[in-house]
Structure 1
Amino acid sequence: MKNILKIGLIALLLVFAGACSNDDYDIGEISAPTNLQVETEILGQSGDMPQGDGSGQVTFNSVADGAMTYKYVFDNGSTVTSPSGVYTHQFSETGTKVYTVNVIAYGAGGTASSTTVDVEVLVTYEPPADLLEKLIGKEWRVKAEVPGHFGLGPVGGVVPTEWYAAGANEKTGTGMYDDRYIFNEDGTFTHITNTNNDDPNPDPSGTVFGRINLVDQLGASCDCEVQGADVLNIPYNDYTENWSISAPGGKETINLTGLAFIGYYIGGDHKYEIFDRSGTNELILKSTDGNGEFDWWFILTSDSAEEEEEFESEFNTEVWSDEFDGDALNTDNWNYEIGNGDNGWGNGEAQYYTDEQDNVRVENGNLIITAKREAESGFDFTSARLTTKDKFEFTYGRVEVRAKLAEGGGTWPAIWMLGAGWPEESWPGVGELDIMEFVGNDPDRISSALHFPGNSGGNAIVGDTEVSDVTSEFHIYEVEWTSEKITFLMDGKPHLEFDNNDATPFQSDFYLLLNVAMGGTLGGNIAEDFQESSMEVDYVKVYQE
């Protein structure tokens, strides 16, 4: 095929050469743009403040006859291309300084003409030392492991990821999570587009992630995968630009020069407002895209992206389990608790627990506990509560429960444990271990807790973790319980550790409980449109040495 194409091309050239020998064609003169004019507008400039208001913002507006695009070259080496000729630049060096800017107008065939302009600018803002200390010299990355690390909302919005929030690691494989961003002390910004291929030797090649059409500005050419309006794994090499900090309107802002960006290419002015920097080794940034369509949000961290050391359990021998493989609840394992207890089980709960199939059943390998809006014994809601009291009780071990949780305002599904002495012995003296509690009115977190004398009710010891899909997907909830430590985990990752000792009630037998409560002190207000919702449990397993 290549030889055929080569022969055909030679023949075509011969024909063209012959035609040229007989006729002269005038293809016209390609000339450089002419009459290049540059206007500058310093923000806040007036007769009293000829160098501006101290913000350091200058807008350049260039026009030339025959120009197709314009480039601005600043004396720090950064460059910006603007097809319209309009560009707003953020100068950041504190004090009054004259900057020389080279402006190039490009015409057809790559022809160009240029001029220089001097602009005298006052910058009064000086970044706080603690912000510079936090930023400089570290490898920042998108914090992929937390929900909401990337998302969008309305322009000017003040609620992070108001309209869309990516779940933990949702964008794996797009070209985002292996990027690193370094704010160097000399004012340069380094973007490593694939940190994983830099071992043992640096490799500048990588890929990035961006918005359809806007990513064309990067000049990369590829047959890249497009998902909706996202372009995945765009080939792009490591690069260096410049960074500075300003505070327009009192809002601390990271300014990047050229085409530099963070996380997801959105074009625009390459300015990232620092929405929150209170977190340890963490920044929450937002930036408006080049379409003026959305504000895009990013959570960055300078913590290592290496996976945390996997939790190792001391207990690996399964001693008890229920995998709900039958067609009915195994009452050799479980008890039904009926009624509303004393004052809604001590929490002012609104449901009446039953043993009816509408509230508890085994189906397709799952235990299904359903809370419903229906009248029963003077209450407006029904549900179910199961326990292993007197049927399975144990001291120390690991409990593992795989479950999908009920949802809706007022729901309060729980997986927990009580000291075997209850109710004969008083609470909280018997102790309580809440392996997992979820509140439909607070759908972005699950919590675990310990209740015992001096630390109960509102004074319980509580740990939580952010979540995004616990009502739509199954997750594993665990507690590891020894005489010296109690650790609560979700999907193998600890979120609460407690140093156990002989002074606590957590040195004797406990039993298991599963239930879905409604309302009460933790469940809160019940949604007016709530009808029913279920917690589904795939299995419950207990391990000991």
Structure 2
Amino acid sequence: MKRYIIPIVSVLACMLLLLHSSCQDDDNSLGALIAPADLSMEARIIGVDDENEYGDGSGLVEFKVSAQHATNYKFVFSDKSSKNTSNGTYTHRFTTPGINDYVVTVLATGTGGISTSKTLTLRVFSEFDDPETKSLLTGDGSKTWYIAKALPAHLGVGPSGTFTPDYYSAAPNEKDECFYDDAMTFSLENDGSIAFEHDNKGETFFNASYLSVAGGSGGDDQCLAFDTSGKKYVNLAPSSSEAPGTPGTQFIISDGGFMNYYIGTSTYEIMKIEDDYMELRAIMGSDDSLAWYLKLTTDPEGGGGNGGEEEEMLQTQFDELVWADEFDQGSEPDAASWNYETGNNNGWGNQEKQYYTEDNAVVEDGTLKINLIAENIDNFQYSSSRITTQNKYDFQYGRIEVRAKLTEGGGSWPAIWMLGSNFTEVEWPGCGEIDIMEYKGNEPDITHGTLHFPGNSGANGLTQSTGVSNAATEFHNYTVEWTEEQIIFAVDNKIFHKFDNTSDTPFHQPFFIILNVAMGGTFGGAIDPAFQQTAMEVDYVRVYQ
């Protein structure tokens, strides 16, 4: 008969617990206070069997405590971590490699703060170890990290089932200063533990779902006064997910500690870590369908350059030119390739302020110029053009490359994009939309690449941005590499957005091309009252398969 070791506190352990229990006396000055009574604690080490007396190496232990009159329970562990819980259940991971003894104390708190405690000693086996990550995180001494505010996507969010910020990524320096001025220091102590200190300069950037934690309210993320002082501790543990190419390690900050953005979690998965650069992923505490991403650097200025992040260059699999317009013939777009869409069409669904004409798209000096002009036309104050290849040219899969110089002026909104050719049959967003490039004159150093389709349309489009410091004064190549498996966005062949093109997206059919310059609206934003005229210049449009 097999002998099973049951990793639940035994009768002998329970007797030991009674020896370690203590109660505070009532504070009569506060009235009659009742201490929590009949405090019991059970501990189950995960994976105990005949061959693994101290567990399966995961270091996981399930705790369950209960007491009469208790309103809260606090676990205090000898690995310098702690946890508050109202229901008395918690699973803790002990991470010191090997077989080690740990002391666990639970404090049951009742009304008025009076508490009862109980202590237990456990022997647990953990086989996890990542000395390289510990060394990179702390510098084998002390290392301070800052948000890499100069980098695109230093903050991002996406679905928790993937490993990219498909929903949103912040442009360089986009957020409030309180998001950027935090200093987070990891220090290696003599006993091998990792200490954590967070200097937030008195304010923390709170996710809208957690404003009440700091006494705030409203529907937007906010900077709120919040105390992050005091030393906390960090435990390294195996990642709970299997993100490709990661070190397979996460860290957990004790006592409710967090990195600079408050999203209701203390657990951060390390996606990438180098001497001076780190990428983190964290599941939001109030919504486990969302994963948030942070880029950090040891540069107090926020990671000028690439902050240790190597730029990924596009390696195309399409090199046969199948269609092009070089805009070197005639004085207007070639009618064999392009259509005009005219009017305002009720703001084109985006509250846009321009009126499209056939006169604002001209070909001269080897480029197409789409002119945006401040002038009165059919009761609108701005004129522009929008041209498409609908019913004249479309394609499915390949590389489209557009070389263009963008607009100047607040409110201007040039776009290079594509719609599914079944647009008139299924309408938008069912047809799918690929925004190769979108740009705001109000944010002249940033360009965007976005996908719209059912469930991710309008403001919920899957977008990424990248810095292009001279987009309005120099020509750049805006590219999409589109395959059955993936859609990749790049500027000057530098990749900034990747999307897994699964079988249930609409991106498995022919698409046609659109070039336009809008004014104002939901994306273009506030219009400069002094605006007069600008243009998007297009050197060429080329499609390779």
- Same fold at TM > 0.5: yes
Query: Relative to 1, partners in 2 of residues 1:518 and 1:367: Cα closer, same or farther, differing over 3 Å?
Result: farther
1:352 Cα deviation after fit: 8.6
State the partner residue of 2:159.
154
Post-superposition shift, 1:515? 12
Deviations 1:119-176 (A, max 9, x none): 1111111104256325543222222333432233333x22322333334333314x32
Report the counterpart of residue 450 of structure 2 in structure 1.
none
Structure 2 partner of 1:498: none
Map 1:72-471 → 2, pairs under 5 A? 72-129=75-132, 132-136=135-139, 137-155=142-160, 157-173=161-177, 175-186=178-189, 187-194=193-200, 206-211=202-207, 214=210, 220=214, 222=215, 224=216, 226-228=217-219, 230-248=221-239, 251-268=248-265, 270-274=266-270, 276-277=271-272, 281-306=276-301, 337=331, 351=338, 356-357=358-359, 359=361, 360-364=370-374, 368=384, 370-373=386-389, 402=408, 404-409=413-418, 441=434, 443=436, 470=439
- Once the two structures are superposed, residues 298-325 of structure 1 have per-residue CA deviations (whole angstroms, 9 ceiling, x without a partner) of 2222242427899xxxxxxxxxxxxxxx
Aligned counterpart, 2:245:
none
Tell me how far apart the structure 1 counterparts of residues 510 and 219 of structure 2 sit (CA, whole Å): 36
Are the aligned partners of 1:94 and 1:126 in contact in 2 as well (CA < 8 Å)?
Answer: yes
Could you say what secondary structure the match of 2:262 adopts? coil
CA contact (8 A) 2:418 2:514 kept: no
Following superposition, the deviation at residue 472 of structure 1 comes to: 7.5
Shift of the 228–166 alpha-carbon distance from structure 1 to 2, 3 Å rule, reads farther
Structure 1 unaligned residues grouped into runs of 5+: 1-26, 195-204, 311-333, 345-349, 388-398, 412-439, 447-468, 478-488, 495-510
Aligned counterpart for 1:62 among listed residues 35, 60, 65: 65
Q: 1:81 to 1:229 in 2, by over 3 A?
A: farther
Conservation of the 8 A alpha-carbon contact between 1:286 and 1:295: no
Query: 1:490 pairs with 457, 463, 468, which one?
Result: 468
Post-superposition shift, 1:530? 5.2
The one-letter code matched in structure 2 to 1:491 is: S
117-126 or 230-239, larger mean C-alpha shift: 230-239
In the other structure, the counterpart of 1:455 is none
SS in 1 for 2:78: coil
* Contact 2:187–2:195 (CA under 8 A) maintained in structure 1: yes
Q: 1:475 maps to which residue? A: 444
SS of 1:405's equivalent in the other structure is: strand
Q: What secondary structure does 2:260 align onto? A: coil
Equivalent-residue separation in structure 2 for 1:78 and 1:386 (angstroms): 55
CA distance in 2, matches of 1:272, 1:59: 21
Whether the 8 Å contact between 1:188 and 1:242 is mirrored in structure 2 is yes
Give 1:4-15 correspondences, 5 Å limit: none
**Bigger-Rg structure (1/2):** 1
Paired residue type of 1:228: G
2:279 maps to a residue whose letter is: I
User: Residue 129 of structure 1 aligns to which amino acid in structure 2?
Assistant: E
Q: Hey, what's the Cα distance between the residues in 2 that align with 1:288 and 1:515?
A: 35
Partner deviation per Cα, 1:500-529 (whole Å, 9 max, x = no partner): xxxxxxxxxxx9989999999999999857
Describe the superposition over 1:260-279 as per-residue Cα deviations: whole angstroms up to 9, x where unpaired: 111322334x22112x2167
Per the alignment, in what secondary structure is the counterpart of residue 277 of structure 1?
A: strand
Aligned match of 1:12: none
Report the Cα distance in structure 1 between the residues aligned to 2:481 and 2:125, rounded to whole angstroms: 59
SS in 2 for 1:51: coil
1:227-262: CA deviation from partner (whole Å, max 9, x where unpaired) = 426343232242321112111567311121111111
What is the alpha-carbon distance in structure 1 between the residues aligned to residue 148 and residue 302 of structure 2? 12
Contact 1:135 1:183 in 2 (8 A): yes
Give the counterpart letter for 1:262 in structure 2: M
Shift of 1:117: 0.7
Mapped contact 2:416–2:435 kept (Cα < 8 A) = no
Q: Give the residue type in structure 2 aligned to 1:470.
A: Y
SS of 1:239 mapped into structure 2:
coil
What does residue 516 of structure 2 align with? 534
Q: Closer, same or farther in 2 for the Cα pair 1:71/1:352, shift >3 Å?
A: closer
Provide the C-alpha distance between the structure 2 equivalents of 1:367 and 1:513, rounded to a whole number of angstroms.
23
Distance 1:368 1:386, change over 3 A: farther
- Secondary structure of 1:129's counterpart equals helix
* Separation in structure 2 between the aligned mates of residue 518 and residue 493 of structure 1, nearest angstrom: 17
Question: Once the 2 structures are TM-superposed, how far is the Cα of residue 103 of structure 1 from its aligned partner?
Answer: 1.2
Task: Specify whether residues 30 and 161 from structure 1 end up closer, same or farther in structure 2 by C-alpha distance, changes over 3 A only.
Answer: same
Identify if the C-alpha distance between structure 1 residues 526 and 406 changes in structure 2 by more than 3 Å, giving closer, same or farther.
farther
Q: In structure 1, what residue type is equivalent to 2:90?
A: Y
Q: What is the root-mean-square deviation in Å for CA atoms of aligned residues?
A: 4.9
Question: In the aligned structure 1, how far is the partner of 2:80 from the partner of 2:489?
Answer: 58
Q: Deviations over 1:353-405 (max 9, x none)?
A: 9x951634452188945322467xx7689xxx999xxxxxxxxxxx9963743
* Structure-1 separation of matches of 2:332 and 2:481: 17
d(CA) in 2 for partners of 1:442, 1:540: 19
- In 2, the alpha carbon distance for the partners of 1:107 and 1:267 equals 25
Task: Call closer, same or farther: CA 1:513–1:272 in 2, change over 3 Å.
Answer: closer
Aligned residues with identical type, % of pairs: 22
Q: Are the counterparts in 1 of residues 101 and 121 from structure 2 also a CA contact under 8 Å? A: yes
Question: In structure 2, what is the Cα distance between the partners aligned to 1:519 and 1:30?
Answer: 69
Question: CA–CA distance in 1 between the matches of 2:416 and 2:372?
Answer: 19
Distance in 1 (CA, whole Å) between partners of 2:69 and 2:294 is 44
What TM-score does the superposition give when structure 1 sets the normalisation length? 0.56
Q: 2: CA distance between counterparts of 1:367 and 1:279?
A: 50
Q: Report the alpha carbon displacement of residue 60 of structure 1 after superposing the two structures with TM.
A: 1.8
Q: Which amino acid aligns with 1:282?
A: Y
After TM superposition, the score normalised by the length of structure 2 is 0.56
Shift in alpha-carbon separation, 1:539–1:51, aligned structure 2, 3 A: same
CA distance in structure 1 between the partners assigned to 2:474 and 2:282 by the alignment: 48
> Partners of 1:515 and 1:170 in 2: how far apart?
24
Q: 1:519 to 1:65 in 2, by over 3 A?
A: closer
Instruction: Identify the residue that residue 500 of structure 2 maps to in structure 1.
Output: none
Structure 1 residues 35 and 278: alpha-carbon distance in aligned structure 2, compared to 1, 3 A threshold: closer
